[in-house]
Amino acid sequence: MIDPTVAGSLEGTAHVVQIALTPVFLLSGVATLLNVFGARLARVADQADKVSGLLPAASDEERQMLGLRLDQLHRRSLALDAAVVLAALGGVATCGAVLTLFVGALRDATIANVLFGLFGAAILCTLCALVVFGFEMLLASRTVRDRIAERRSRAGVPADP
């Protein structure tokens, strides 16, 4: 026969593991976001290297345009930095929520407030990271549109209506 206290303990432990898996899925999403943010940041860095490499041989007018481009890339990198920091904080809070679940189960203490705070912080940081990433995407798409309009103008091609 199975001892009822052991069975209850096993069921309780299994329940804690089940509950702890939910934040782990969020953590997986946060890790994916960080990967996307890192790839975007690498692209911005490559573009900044390319633009800054053109500066020495550029005319005064070109230098001014390249300087504006570098300013745009700088703003994008700042937006990505904020998104990375917020996503990382969301990941830290998610890990804290999982750890709190396990420590709370071991201590048999009421930890609902701490768990609520950590999970809430994880959601809030992830939400903010997505908002800042959206802002960076808007900056990037605006830059692409500006570049297309500039090339059309130089080539004497009329802009789209």
Q: What pLDDT is attached to residue 22?
A: 76
Nearest-angstrom CA–CA distance, 110 and 161: 63
- Tokens 């026969």, residue located: 1
Nearest-angstrom CA–CA distance, 155 and 14: 67
- Tokens 């700088």, residue located: 74
Buried b (16+ CB within 10 A) or exposed e, 21-39: eebeebbeebeebbeebee
Domain ranges in the chain?
Answer: 4-155
Rg (CA), the chain: 25
DSSP 3-state of 100: helix
Q: What pLDDT is attached to residue 1?
A: 43
| HEC-encoded secondary structure of 78-110 | HHHHHHHHHHHHHHHHHHHHHHHHHHHHHHCCC
DSSP 3-state of 57: coil
Q: What pLDDT is attached to residue 3?
A: 45
Nearest-angstrom CA–CA distance, 111 and 100: 7
Terminal CA-CA length for the chain: 81
Q: What pLDDT is attached to residue 69?
A: 87
Token output for 33: 């976001």
Q: Report pTM.
A: 0.67
Nearest-angstrom CA–CA distance, 65 and 72: 11
- Report the greatest alpha carbon distance in the chain: 88
For the chain, 161 residues long, the average pLDDT of each consecutive 10-residue run is 50 70 80 88 87 84 85 88 88 80 63 72 81 83 73 63 53
The answer to whether 128 and 86 have CB atoms below 8 angstroms apart is yes
